[in-house]
Homo-oligomer: A and B are copies of this chain.
Amino acid sequence: MKNIYTLIVFFFLSHTLHAQDNNNIKLVIHGGAGTITRKNMTAEQEKAYRAVLDNALQKGYLVLKNGGTSVNAVQTAIMVLEDSPLFNAGKGAVFTHEGKNELDASIMDGKNLMAGAVAGVTTVKNPITAAIAVMEKSPHVMLTGAGADRFAKEQGLQIVDPSYFYTEARYKALLNAKKSESIELDHSDKAKKENLKKGNKTGHRESKSLIFSEGKKFGTVGCVALDKYGNLAAGTSTGGMTNKRYGRVGDAPIIGAGTYANNETCAVSATGHGEFFIRAAVAHDISALMEYKGLNLQDAANEVVMKKLIAMGGEGGVIALDKKGNISMPFNSEGMYRGYIRHDGQSVTMIYKDELKK
């Protein structure tokens, strides 16, 4: 009789705990921030972007719901975004000055502060998988260039010919950028406007591509997740900057800048003008404001994105998630592709500034 009681209590407790855990799961994604406005985007483009965002949310959520880890969920959601040509990560990555696609990605596990990153890979289909392999299968945190490609291949990851990453819209964006040389040589407002105009032309009229070729969009994709075990994770993946030179690396593969996760505080993935995000150590700074100054997630994220970065002139945004499942998605640019999915599977996608968190 006593045994039966024990059994009943056990099943009751385990069911309750399980339900509680799954009540807490959450996943948040972004697909880049920048000059993304209603008037710049067609209804067709908007629909296409929202569909991919929602697919990423649903696929990542399924991992969490089935008891997968936050790292697994981050990988799954980011792979959806990498595989879509719409976002500047994986397929659809922007082109370097030399006409190549050099990809960066990073991951951090909030449970144990383990991390992995790759910079400048050219043959890994899903750079986020390479970052995770660095974290899980190597004693290192950051691998770069051809060496990182070699490591990914040795780990049995999916390798593709560099031509896999080609998209017409991104290549045209490179040609336009080269024409104006605005990104590296001229930072005046006039150049920005010209570039924007050209970018829009390419996206809307010339190629009629679904890919939204913003003149100034800091395309990067990212995901933060909280699993039923209470563990946070953050991941980021990008093709970097159109027309980038000299092996330029932004904040996406930099732990503490574009990506940071710590169960004690929060998980953060950033998107924006990477140079400013590195100098401001954005992702770690949000965590530090919570840990040392006692700010809540929203205040910490706003302090960095809406005050510090604006004061420095750094455009972009972050997605952030704390251990209680609170979400913050501040950005100081005109728009940011973003979305979240709740424990019950209800998802929300947003693009513009006027869409508030529901």
Question: Is A249 positioned at the interface, with any CB of B under 8 Å from its CB?
Answer: yes
B279–A247 touching, CB < 8 Å = no
Contact call B113/A248, Cβ cutoff below 8 A: no
Asked if A224 lies at the interface with its beta carbon under 8 angstroms from chain B, I say no
Count of interface residues, chain A, beta-carbon cutoff 8 Å: 47
A41 contacts B by Cβ under 8 Å: no
A249 touching B142, Cβ below 8 Å = yes
Distance to closest chain B CB from A157 (angstroms): 13
- Given A255-B279, A281-B256, A281-B281, A249:B113 Cβ within 8 A: no
Of B113, B143, B248, B278, which contacts A280 at CB under 8 A?
B113
Smallest Cβ-Cβ distance to A154: which chain B residue: B246
Within the complex, the shortest CB–CB distance from A218 to chain B, in Å, comes to 13
A280 to B140, CA, bound (A): 14
Query: In the complex, what distance in Å separates the CA atom of A57 from the CA atom of B243?
Result: 41
Number of identical monomers bound together in the oligomeric complex? 2
Q: Which segment, of A59-67, A80-88, A287-295, A332-340, faces chain B?
A: A287-295
Interface digits, A138-164 against B, CB 8 Å rule (1 contact, 0 not)? Answer: 111111111110110000000000000
A27 to chain B, nearest CB (A): 23
* A74 on the B face (CB < 8 A): no
Bound Cα distance A245, B291 (Å): 35
- Which B residues touch A144, using CB under 8 A? 119-120, 144-145, 247-249
| A194 proximal to B (CB < 8 A) | no
Q: Do most interface residues of chain A lie in helix, strand or loop, or is the interface mixed?
A: mixed
Q: A139-B184, A288-B288, A288-B292 are in contact. Are A279 and B148 (CB under 8 A)?
A: no
Does residue A177 face the partner (Cβ distance < 8 Å to B)?
no
A187 CB–B CB distance under 8 Å:
yes
Is A257 close to B, CB under 8 A? yes
Q: Does the CB pair A248–B284 fall under 8 Å? A: no
Q: Does A19 contact B (CB under 8 A)?
A: no
Could you say which of B141, B147, B278 contacts A245, with CB atoms under 8 Å apart?
Answer: B147
Q: Which residue of B lies closest to A144 (CB)?
A: B247
A254 within 8 A of B: yes
- Which of chain B's residues have a CB closer than 8 A to the CB of A146? 247
Taking Cβ atoms with an 8 Å cutoff, the residues of A that contact B are 108, 113-115, 119-120, 138-148, 150-151, 183-184, 187, 245-250, 254-257, 260, 274-275, 278-281, 284-285, 288-289, 291-293, 312
Q: List 17 A-B contacts (CB under 8 A).
A: A108-B279, A113-B312, A138-B184, A139-B187, A142-B248, A144-B144, A147-B247, A148-B246, A148-B247, A151-B245, A254-B254, A254-B255, A255-B281, A256-B278, A256-B284, A284-B288, A285-B288
If A139-B183, A148-B247 are given as contacts, then 10 extra A-B residue pairs at C-beta distance below 8 Å, sorted by A number, are A113-B280, A138-B184, A139-B184, A142-B250, A143-B248, A151-B245, A260-B281, A284-B284, A292-B292, A292-B293
